[in-house]
Amino acid sequence: MSLRIMHNIAAMNAHRQLLISDNLLSKSLERLSSGYRINRAADDAAGLAISQRMRAQIAGLKMASRNASQATNLVQTAEGAMNEIHNMLTRMRELAVQAASDSVSSSDRSAINQEFTQLRQEIDRIASVTEYNGASLIDGSYSGNTVSTGSTAYDEDGVVEITLSGATTGTYTFTDATGDTQVTLSNGTITETVSYSAPTTGNTTVLNFSTLGVQVTINWNYEAGDLSGKNIVVDSGSGGVFQVGADNTSNDRISFSIGNLKATGSTLNLSSVSLSTRSGAQSAIDAIDSAIDAVNTQRGQLGAVQNRLSYTIANVNNAAENLQASESTIRDADFAEEITQFTRAQILVQAGTAMLAQANVQPQAVLKLLG
């Protein structure tokens, strides 16, 4: 047995072990109080990096779900207004059927036409004021791609209106031979030809290029060959684009547009309809039926979008939940394990403290040699 007093190796060893145990105890206390296994990069550098990326993804998915919910609210707002338009169109058709019969007098038709006119104005008013967060929805401004005012096809007096139904951006050029009853339209990739009958005075005809998604309405002023060499320029529209995913890809976005549902707009096309005469009322029935079909189509499209959004929300929420579970596995503390580690470290600290005290007493044995 050697007795040294300059360096108490036993005490130094007990002190080192006590520091280790105390460090373990501090980590266990930190994890138990924070609930996290990783509180700093030193705890698990790789795990911290992975969990931080997951947290960013989870936050993005949660916001994407909120975006999709707000898009659903927007669709419901527009669809609610369309429901009222539908009700008014039904009443307008009822009035047209009433005015188409000779069981009513001219003065009766005049009164009926007054109500018809008021309903038409109300449809226009509703279409103008239906908004979501400041954006007008059903007056034609919440549309997809739009026709540029610089399109040369507008130069012709016989062209009343150009509407789009899924047309992509770009320039579309007409081929229109004089004396022919066919018109060809091409965007450089797709070429489509339609036949038509020249409209009589006071009437219009629609040249429907369904494959290209372009409809051109012409009136009685149009003559074969007028559109030759003319073009339509389709610009990117201002329809709704909604971020429903966490990343910057086209698959993380859903876009849709809503048409012009004004009674005097090109979709319903009721601006010239009148019930003041029996023949006018008879024609009005067909015009209103077409308007009802147009609203049905638009409501059906919005209903499909709403159903799509509901599945999108469910999928995004499911992805966020699963990703959160993965992040929790990496970042969160396992309390059962941490309590075990804490108890072990606590006992080691207590034992180490006791042994350090004993080690510090050992050098006093030298005093006996001096006696």
CB atoms under 10 Å from CB of 256, counted, come to: 20
Final residue in a domain of this structure, among 219, 236, 253 = 236
Does residue 58 sit in the same domain as residue 135? yes
pLDDT interval class at 26 (50, 70, 90): confident
| CB proximity list for 233: less than 8 A, separation 6 or greater | 147, 148, 150, 151, 170, 171, 172
Q: Are 312 and 68 in contact (CB under 8 A)?
A: yes
Does residue 154 sit in the same domain as residue 212? yes
By three-state DSSP, how is residue 256 classified? strand
Q: Starting at the edge strand that comes first in sequence, how are the strands of the sheet with 214-219 ordered? A: 159-164, 214-219, 204-209
Q: How much is the pLDDT for 126?
A: 96
Q: Which domain holds residue 275?
A: 39-144+238-332
Does residue 256 sit in the same domain as residue 119? yes
Does residue 115 sit in the same domain as residue 18? no
Whether 1 has a pLDDT exceeding 60, the answer reads no
Q: How far apart are CA 67 and CA 245, in angstroms?
A: 9
Exposure class string for 196-230: b at 16+ Cβ within 10 A, else e: beebeeeebbbbbbeebbbbbbbbeebebebbeeb
Does residue 321 sit in the same domain as residue 346? no
**pLDDT-wise least confident of 96-110, 148-162, 328-342:** 148-162
pTM for the full predicted model: 0.66
- Give the number of domains in the chain: 3
Q: How much is the pLDDT for 338?
A: 87
Does residue 22 sit in the same domain as residue 62? no
Q: Are 76 and 371 in contact (CB under 8 A)?
A: no
Q: Are 273 and 267 in contact (CB under 8 A)?
A: no
| DSSP symbol at 139 | B
Does residue 247 sit in the same domain as residue 323? yes
Does residue 61 sit in the same domain as residue 111? yes
Does residue 136 sit in the same domain as residue 251? yes
Q: How far apart are CA 303 and CA 255, in angstroms?
A: 14
Does residue 117 sit in the same domain as residue 50? yes
| DSSP symbol at 233 | E
pLDDT in tens, 223-256: 888 898 999 998 776 577 788 999 888 788 888 8
Does residue 175 sit in the same domain as residue 164? yes
Q: Are 174 and 153 in contact (CB under 8 A)?
A: yes
